[in-house]
Amino acid sequence: MQKLKQTPPMKANEPSVLAQVANLSNLSLKELNDMWLRLNGVPAPSGQKRPFLQSHLAYRIQELAYAQVNPTLIASNKTRIESMIEHLKPLAKARTKKETFKLVPGTRLRRDFQGKTHEVTVLSDGNFEYEGRPFSSLTAVAHEITQLKWSGPSFFGLTRSNPAILGARR
């Protein structure tokens, strides 16, 4: 995020905020670009049309004028925002670990799909065998069968109450 330049407070002889905003439609494109540079400290994005420049300049004029009315409000808001960010950082780092299904080795899972019965065997190393080929996950097997992204446990109808799952609720 670019840091915007703060302009000095409005002088007594400067037009009101309303007058400045209303006058934007009378300015040439060059004058709008010059004003952008003066108010933002950076050149206007290239290729922008008049409506874009006018609406953003109107916002910036008001932003600068009303920020001067209560400068402590901006400092207070900045402090509050930084505090919220610090408070939320641990939550952003904490990732919820999905519980994985631990199936009993030797379990055979069957599913009828598009008129064909598909059978998968759970191997002792935690992998799965389907049509004589090993797969590292049920999702990979489901993808092989459907050619779509599909949750393997969901495809085979597994739930936590299934007795084939180690530690399942009975």
For residue range 10-32, what is the model confidence (pLDDT) as tens digits?
555 678 899 999 999 999 999 99
Comparison of pLDDT for 152 and 21, the residue scoring more: 21
Comparison of pLDDT for 62 and 72, the residue scoring more: 62
Given a cut of 70, whether residue 1 has pLDDT beyond it is no
% of the chain at pLDDT higher than 70: 79
**Whole-number pLDDT of residue 144:** 92
d(CA 59, CA 4): 13
Question: pLDDT of 31-66, one tens digit each?
Answer: 999 999 999 999 999 988 999 999 999 999 998 888
Q: How far apart are the first and last CA of the chain?
A: 54
Domain ranges (residues) in the chain:
17-93, 97-170
pTM of the model: 0.39
Q: In the sheet that 116-122 helps form, which strands lie side by side, from edge to edge?
A: 108-113, 116-122, 128-130, 133-135
**Whole-number pLDDT of residue 27:** 95
d(CA 13, CA 23): 16
Given a cut of 60, whether residue 169 has pLDDT beyond it is no
